[in-house]
A and B are shown apart, each in its own frame.
Chain A
Amino acid sequence: MHHFRAPDARRFISASLMIGIAFVIFGASFGVLSVSAGASVAQSCAMSLLVFTGASQMSAVSVLASGGTVASAFGGAVLLSGRNAVYGLAMSPVLKQGSLASRLLGAQWVIDETTAIVSAETDPTTRRTGFWISGAILYASWNIGTLLGALVGTSINPSDFGLDAAFPVMFTAMIAPHLRTSAGRKAALFGAVAAVALAPFMPIGLPILVSALGMLFGMKPTSSEQPAMTDGAP
């Protein structure tokens, strides 16, 4: 965290600002939807500050907004955040050199995009520079977006603006990188079919947890396929 090289730093700042713009928009959408699902502005901001993993946050709000059980909303969100543990494995050498305090802070910034930025580099100093710069910019972008969205969300009715359709639209943008592998496509097909087929027979939200069983397509080793990472949201 101490010795940034200026050319690297500038490169990472401009790359992170590009993603940051998407994060502000995405965060704002989360803020609007979260408030319209019954969360307060403070709760929505606390989610983005403390949870800071977009798919989980959106998933929780989506299940609660459609009248789902709290357990389903919680379970789905936690399952979705499980991938950050895997990203953390790859990121641990980057965090290892810092103090305990910096590792504890850095862990919060281990998301799809910071992992993608770090994974594209090989030099340890460059990787560290990339991680801290992208982490700080994306964390700020996500939280600024959330605050703006939550404030706007208190004064509008989402279905007037088609914002309830923002859930599937957001999830579509998020899922795209995960469909590059055949295991990903099988898991997605299973997830979609399970959610629709079970909807009438289970409490709202619970079919989503059955959808997650699509992860078991990962039991079988795939040839040379690399796992995907999302882009566009933390």
Chain B
Amino acid sequence: MTWTFVLALSACAYGLKLLGAVIIGQREMPLVMQRCLLLIPAALLAGLIAKDTFTTGQSYAIDARAAGLAVAVLATWRQLPFVVVIVAGVGTTALIRVFV
């Protein structure tokens, strides 16, 4: 990671906050644009979950991470506290690595 990366991302992230909160403010942003922007986390986070669980580099892999994800999904679905989701998910992967 470079400082250029950190500062450029900072500028863009703050710029987007500023755009809504101060620059556009109470004027209009098209609803279709609002709906699409609010859907990005669903689409992109799902992509990241898939990448971080089932791939290593450009290859496919099913390993201890998949078990960790399964436990995390279950814990999230049961609406367990955030800390429990993390500890259970990460702990599952760590335990499998130790014993398998």
Tell me which residues across on chain B come within 8 A of A64, comparing CB atoms.
1
In the bound complex, do residue B25 and residue A96 qualify as a contact, i.e. CB atoms below 8 Å apart? Answer: yes
Pick the contact of A168: B6, B36, B65 (CB < 8 A).
B65
Q: Mark B58-100, 1 if CB is under 8 A from A, else 0.
A: 1110001100110011001000001101100111111111000
Interface of chain A, helix or strand or loop or mixed?
Answer: helix
Chain B minimum-CB-distance residue to A201: B58
A56 to B15, CA, bound (A): 14
Known: A85-B19, A215-B36. A190 touches B1 (CB 8 A): no
A160 to B93, CA, bound (A): 10
Binds B, one of A3-11, A22-30, A140-148: A22-30
Known: A56-B9, A77-B13. A165 touches B51 (CB 8 A): no
Pick the contact of B52: A96, A168, A214 (CB < 8 A).
A168
A145 to B75, CA, bound (A): 23
Chain B minimum-CB-distance residue to A39: B1
Tell me which residues across on chain A come within 8 A of B54, comparing CB atoms.
196
Known: A165-B89, A168-B65. A187 touches B13 (CB 8 A): no
In the bound complex, do residue B21 and residue A169 qualify as a contact, i.e. CB atoms below 8 Å apart? Answer: no
Q: How many residues of B contact A (CB 8 A)?
A: 72
Pick the contact of A80: B44, B56, B72 (CB < 8 A).
B44
A212 to B38, CA, bound (A): 11
Tell me how far the C-beta of A230 lies from the nearest C-beta in chain B, rounded to whole angstroms. 7
Chain B minimum-CB-distance residue to A225: B35
A66 to B92, CA, bound (A): 21
A117 to B85, CA, bound (A): 23
Chain A minimum-CB-distance residue to B40: A215
Tell me how far the C-beta of B23 lies from the nearest C-beta in chain A, rounded to whole angstroms. 9
Tell me which residues across on chain B come within 8 A of A211, comparing CB atoms.
43-44, 46-48, 50
Interface residues on A, range: 35 or more
Known: A80-B44, A81-B13, A92-B25. A168 touches B49 (CB 8 A): yes
In the bound complex, do residue B57 and residue A67 qualify as a contact, i.e. CB atoms below 8 Å apart? Answer: yes
Instruction: Tell me if A136 is interfacial: C-beta within 8 Å of chain B.
Output: no
Tell me which residues across on chain B come within 8 A of A199, comparing CB atoms.
51, 55, 58-60
Which residues of chain A from 74 to 105 have any CB-CB distance to chain B below 8 Å in the complex?
Answer: 74, 76-89, 91-93, 95-96, 103-104
In the bound complex, do residue B32 and residue A218 qualify as a contact, i.e. CB atoms below 8 Å apart? Answer: yes
Known: A51-B10, A80-B41, A162-B93. A171 touches B48 (CB 8 A): yes
Which residues of chain B from 1 to 44 have any CB-CB distance to chain A below 8 Å in the complex?
Answer: 1-3, 5-10, 12-14, 16-22, 24-26, 29, 31-32, 34-44
In the bound complex, do residue B43 and residue A165 qualify as a contact, i.e. CB atoms below 8 Å apart? Answer: no
Can you list 6 residue pairs at the A/B interface with Cβ under 8 Å?
A52-B13, A168-B72, A188-B42, A191-B50, A195-B55, A222-B35
Q: Which B residues form the contact surface with A (CB < 8 A)?
A: 1-3, 5-10, 12-14, 16-22, 24-26, 29, 31-32, 34-60, 64-65, 68-69, 72-73, 76, 82-83, 85-86, 89-97
